[in-house]
Chains A and B, each alone.
Chain A
Amino acid sequence: GNSVTQMEGPVTLSEEAFLTINCTYTATGYPSLFWYVQYPGEGLQLLLKATKADDKGSNKGFEATYRKETTSFHLEKGSVQVSDSAVYFCALKGNYGQNFVFGPGTRLSVLP
Chain B
Amino acid sequence: DAGVIQSPRHEVTEMGQEVTLRCKPISGHNSLFWYRQTMMRGLELLIYFNNNVPIDDSGMPEDRFSAKMPNASFSTLKIQPSEPRDSAVYFCASSEVTYEQYFGPGTRLTVT
Contact = CB atoms under 8 A, between A and B. Distances in A.
Interface string B73-108: 000000000000000000101010100111111100
Contacts of A98: 31, 33, 48, 50, 55-56, 95, 97
Given A98-B31, A98-B48, A98-B50, A46 B43 contact: no
Interface in A11-33: 32
Contacts of A102: 42-43, 45
| Chain A CB within 10 A, most for which of B42, B100, B104, B105 | B100
Interface of A is mostly: strand
Interface of A: 32, 34, 36, 42-46, 49, 89, 93, 97-98, 100, 102, 104-105
Given A43-B106, A93-B100, 16 more contacts: A36-B103, A43-B4, A43-B93, A43-B103, A44-B101, A44-B103, A46-B101, A89-B43, A97-B55, A98-B50, A98-B56, A98-B97, A102-B43, A104-B42, A104-B43, A105-B42
Interface of B: 4, 31, 33, 42-43, 45, 48, 50, 55-56, 91, 93, 95, 97, 100-106
Contacts of A43: 4, 91, 93, 103-106
Contacts of A32: 100
Contacts of B31: 98
| Chain A CB within 10 A, most for which of B43, B48, B56, B95 | B43
Interface of B is mostly: strand
A46 to B, nearest CB: 5
A17 B42 CA distance: 27
21 contacts: A32-B100, A43-B91, A43-B93, A43-B103, A44-B43, A44-B93, A45-B103, A46-B100, A46-B101, A89-B43, A98-B50, A98-B55, A98-B56, A98-B95, A98-B97, A100-B101, A102-B42, A104-B42, A104-B43, A105-B42, A105-B43
